[in-house]
Amino acid sequence: MQQVQEFCERVVNNIEMVIVGKRQSIEVAVISLLCQGHLLIEDVPGVGKTMLARSLARSLGCKFSRIQFTPDMLPSDVTGVSIFNQVTREFEFRSGPIMAQIVLADEINRATPKTQAALLEAMEERQITVDGITHHLPRPFMVLATQNPIEYEGTFPLPEAQLDRFLLRVRLGYPGENDEINVLDRQQFKHPIDQIDKVVSAEEVTDAQDAVKSVYVAPPVKRYIVDLTRRTREYPEVYLGASPRGSLTLYRGGQARAAMQGRDFVLPDDIKIIVESALSHRVILGPAARLRDLTASQVVEDILSSTPVPGGDLSR
């Protein structure tokens, strides 16, 4: 796993040239990449959501595409459209921005539900269907979506089915005082994102994704993963808990986190690091919880603190 560890170090260090003081959030983004999953970056305006997505895309030697979502967008603006060629007398497919390897869906909740749904097939099955014809997406393929959770004017909240398709959700939060001063210094003359370049190739990305799958997960850790997910369904103030896709996310994310640390086996600590990012957006609270101002993140933290942690030798 040393090659995967070196791969992650190069990518994380490159992104840190732009995103200051948020190494754990950056690592979550890289974990999502290693798991061949999609990432939802959710936070207040101005904390670097789009910059995190752009920095990750620039660090990878992959074809990049950006979609700025607006209320007047149509699904064909995302997937592409078939146009009749009068010379050949045939329809030709003009691909949309989704036909890339790294896709930035900026302010995804500003698009209508119909346009948001254009991403569902692409995110889950790595393909799109236009006029009854299926077009396969390139590999690697990853959607990085950003949204502002506090703004409601002119937005369309993501439905639960689409939220569930995001492997992980990450929040950046405000920087510390010294980090914010560092941001001012770095942007005095130009933005740091203009100075970073790719540090890995598309082939290295796919090789790292394939290598992560071989990381060993001991039976006690598998049971720990399932226990965490099942407890979200049994929590008294939760209306709908995490689906089995939540367990798969913890499983794959644990493998990626272990490989990032240079290990070929998963520890419970690997699961703990990603559990909030993996499960909180999959939990739907009941009315009583909302009246108490209880958040999904608090529920997941409570479940994590009350679930027994496996011990012993968890390596092969």
104-148 tens-digit pLDDT: 998 888 888 888 888 888 888 888 888 888 888 988 999 999 888
**Domain shared by 81 and 157, yes or no:** yes
1 pLDDT more than 80: no
234-247 tens-digit pLDDT: 998 888 889 999 99
298-313 tens-digit pLDDT: 999 999 999 999 987 7
Supply the CATH number for residue 267's domain: 1.10.8.80
**Domain shared by 9 and 73, yes or no:** yes
Total number of domains constituting the chain: 2
| pLDDT of 152 | 62
43-66 tens-digit pLDDT: 888 888 888 888 888 898 888 899
192 pLDDT more than 90: no
Radius of gyration of the chain (CA): 20
Tell whether 67 is covered by a domain.
yes
248 pLDDT tier (thresholds 50, 70, 90): very high
Residue-averaged pLDDT of the chain: 89
**Domain shared by 222 and 277, yes or no:** yes
Q: Which domain holds residue 130?
A: 1-211
Cα angle 277, 283, 285 (rounded to 5 degrees) comes to 135
Question: pTM (2 decimals)?
Answer: 0.90
Task: Give just the sign of the alpha carbon dihedral 3, 168, 24, 301.
Answer: negative
Closest by CA position to 312, among listed 215, 224, 230: 224
**Domain shared by 231 and 202, yes or no:** no
| Tokens, residue 285 | 């609270």
Report the distance separating Cα 142 and Cα 255, nearest Å.
18
208 burial level (CB within 10 Å; 0-12, 13-18, 19+): buried
Mean pLDDT of 22-30: 92
Phi and psi dihedrals of 168, rounded to 5? -135, 155
Phi and psi dihedrals of 185, rounded to 5? -65, -40
Tell whether 315 is covered by a domain.
no
Tell whether 316 is covered by a domain.
no
